[in-house]
Structure formats: structure tokens, C-alpha cells
Amino acid sequence: MGVQEEQFDIYDKDMQPIGTASREEVHAKGWWHRTFQCWIWDAAEPAGEGSILFQERHPGKDTFPGLLDISCAGHLLAGESVEDGVRELQEELGVEVPFDRLISCGIFAEEDELPGGRMDREFCHVFVLPLSRRLESYRLQEDEVTGLYRMPLPVFRRLVEGLPLTAKLSGAAVDAKGQLLPAVQRVTPERLVPHSPAYYRLVLDAVERLTDGGRAE
């Protein structure tokens, strides 16, 4: 017996539930579905600025392979609550935190065209997690994530403002032995999974509220 394909709850454009469908059908027919997305905010690195953590997607991913994206993200399966999404942090990054540690940024409706004429329509439940730790201490799900890179807050603001972006990001990448080692990557917009400035604004607003006296670990 083959592995059963993941099932997602599906919705109309007003986020009203209309049933369930397989991952393949959801993307083939462009059904709206829900995702959990969490950005990690490290107030300590670099000193005086803090940074947003980006993950480097595995080159074998079927969408946006090898590009830099949200610290941690994944689909919510059929029957799962938004709170269940914290499992993605443990699975992808080895981070175990209770849901109440997350700062909600709101829900963002996002549409992306996929190869083969498919459409990805997501209601993104977006969160920020204040967390300061050495990059080498993360435990990556290597078939999903191949590296982590810190984007200093002033550089992230350029994404929000839609300004030209070229930056050198410090991070850590998985080597042939599966170890996370220090790495540096030069980043331009072409190296990032495309998100709109309005999406990045949700994240920046939450981080700026934290810098005015919010929580950090």
C-alpha cells in the first residue's frame, strides 16, 4: 500500500470551509487552504540591530528550490488547528515552544502561480517568535532546509519598502556530514521566495512592537 497523500481543509475566498482535498488536488484546482508561517526574531544578533531568520529551502523542493524563505512554514492538515502548527518548528528546526510564545501578525491571503499551470492559494497564519540562539544549535530537517541566514533589521526594512536589495547575510549551512557550519550568502531579490511588501510589513510591525519592550528568550 502506498503512502496516503496529505489532506487539507479547503475554503472559499471568504475563508468559509467547503470540504477537504488532497495536496495535489488543492494545487491543481487552486483551492484556498491554510498554512502556518513563523518568523524567528533574534534581538541579540547582530548587536544593536537584531535580525530576522531566513531558511534556505532544499534544492529538491518542488516549489522555489534553493531560495531563502520564512524561518519555518508548513501546511495545516485537515482537522488541525492553527495551534497545531507549532509542530513545524520542531520538525524543521528542532525548536520546541508552546503556542503562547508566538506573536500573531494576522492572516495574509497569498496567491502564487506554480509550475504546470497550478495555483497555490493560501490563508497564511503568520507569527513571530522572539528567540536568540546560536545558529549551529538548530536541528534542521535536512530534506526540507539546508541553511539558516540572518537578515539584519535595516535590510529587512528595505523589503517592506520595496527598495532595491543587495546584502551579504551571515548564517550557517549544512555540510556533507550533516553539520551546520558558518556560511555567508550574498542576497538579491532573486534569491528570495517572492512575498509582497505588504506581507513583510505584517512581520516588521510585530517585530517593532517587540523592540519597544516585548518578549525575548
Nearest one of 130, 142, 145, 125 to 54, comparing CA atoms: 145
Number of neighbours of residue 93 by Cβ within 10 angstroms: 24
The tens digit of pLDDT for each residue in 104-129 reads 999 999 998 888 889 999 999 999 99
Higher-confidence residue: 154 or 162? 154
- By the 8 A CB rule, do 50 and 141 touch? no
- Name the pLDDT band for 164 (thresholds 50, 70, 90): confident
- Cβ atoms 173, 166 nearer than 8 A: no
- Name the class of domain 7-211: alpha beta
pLDDT for 216:
43
Q: How many CB atoms lie within 10 A of CB 22?
A: 14
CB distance 202 to 126 below 8 Å: yes
The strand pair at 51-57 and 103-114 is best described as unpaired
* pLDDT, the chain, mean: 92
- Domain segments of the chain as ranges: 7-211
Q: Cell numbers of 47, please?
A: 548587536
